[in-house]
Structure 1
Amino acid sequence: MKWARAALVGGGEVTIRLVDADEGRTLNNEYRGKDYATNVLSFPYDSEPLVTGDLVICPSVVAREAAEQNKPPAAHYAHLTVHGMLHLQGWDHENDEDAQAMEDEEREILAAMGYPDPYAV
């Protein structure tokens, strides 16, 4: 998938799974303590020497969010895939500085593929 490759520095082995809302909710609750289906979950296993991990994407949530945000679904999928891939490589958004750095990286990767700024209002 070109979106995942665009966000991967170096090599890696990543599985991308599409799940229904029930499984997305179960995984989000089990691993993050949040009782709702979310758009993307990242499960990193290793980052050296290669990135390995799983991305779990919930299409029903992605479709709903894209509609709510008036974005093309492909652009939203691209953003969430890039976002998840960055998480697999150690990026996070736990504080304002890290969030800004991660958002800037996402913008740069997405712009290189011809997608608009996902954070533009």
Structure 2
Amino acid sequence: MTKGPLRLDVAVGYALPRAGLPAAASFRKWVAAALQGRIREADLAIRLVDADEGRALNRHYRGKDYATNVLSFPAEVAEGVKLPRGVKLPLLGDLVLCAPVVAREAREQGKPLNAHYAHLTVHGALHLLGLDHQDTREAECMERLEREILAGLGIEDPYRER
């Protein structure tokens, strides 16, 4: 755990009409909750997209021809590239949330839309930190952490059966 205040810069971009979507301030709050105590500083971008863009990104980067709820793109410094002395790279990465998929899932799962956005934002931010859910142990650890973070935000357990 990292002590001290988190220096965070979150750029939120809307590639579709903003009506009914959470405000940028909400995304910043959710990211801060996910990162607090885990990292000292971070810059990241969040982009909300429609189904066409979500599908194109998922197909291009993951080889899966459908729109998915959240995509995480951790920042990487190219191999062999050395930053100048004293330059720090707080760039954490990018998250892409596909608004129509998130809305459909929230409806199907009987969850408040903002709570589902909060969960997926926290989930994506944890991926940017390197957490994953490729095996049962990793999945349980990540889900436990998501539950704790969301509870701190006053959001119900997203994995609870409805």
Same fold (TM over 0.5): yes
1:3 partnered with 2:33? no
Which of 126, 134, 153 is equivalent to 1:94?
134
State the TM-score, normalized to the length of structure 1: 0.95
| Residues 99-114 of structure 1: pairs in structure 2 closer than 5 A | 99-114=139-154
Secondary structure of 2:105 counterpart? helix
Tell me, which stretches of 5 or more residues in structure 2 are unaligned? 1-27, 78-87
Number of residue pairs matched by the alignment: 121
Q: 1:102, 1:77 → 2: CA distance?
A: 17
Higher helix share: 1
Pick the structure with greater CA Rg: 2
Aligned position for 2:50? 20
Q: Is the 8 A contact 1:51 1:88 kept in 2?
A: no
Query: Cα gap change, 1:51/1:104 in structure 2, threshold over 3 Å: closer, same or farther?
Result: farther
SS of residue in 2 equivalent to 1:85: helix
Identity among equivalent pairs (%)? 62
Q: Which residue does 2:15 correspond to in 1?
A: none
- The structure 1 segments of at least 4 consecutive aligned residues displaced by more than 2 Å after TM superposition are 46-51
SS of 1:41's equivalent? strand
1:75 and 2:100 correspond: no
Residue identity matched to 1:87: H
Name the CA shift for 1:51/1:109 in 2 (closer, same or farther; >3 Å): farther
Measure, in 2, the Cα distance between the counterparts of 1:19 and 1:102: 25
Q: Gaps (5+ residues) in structure 1? A: none
Change (3 A) 1:108 1:49: farther
* C-alpha displacement of 1:46: 4.4
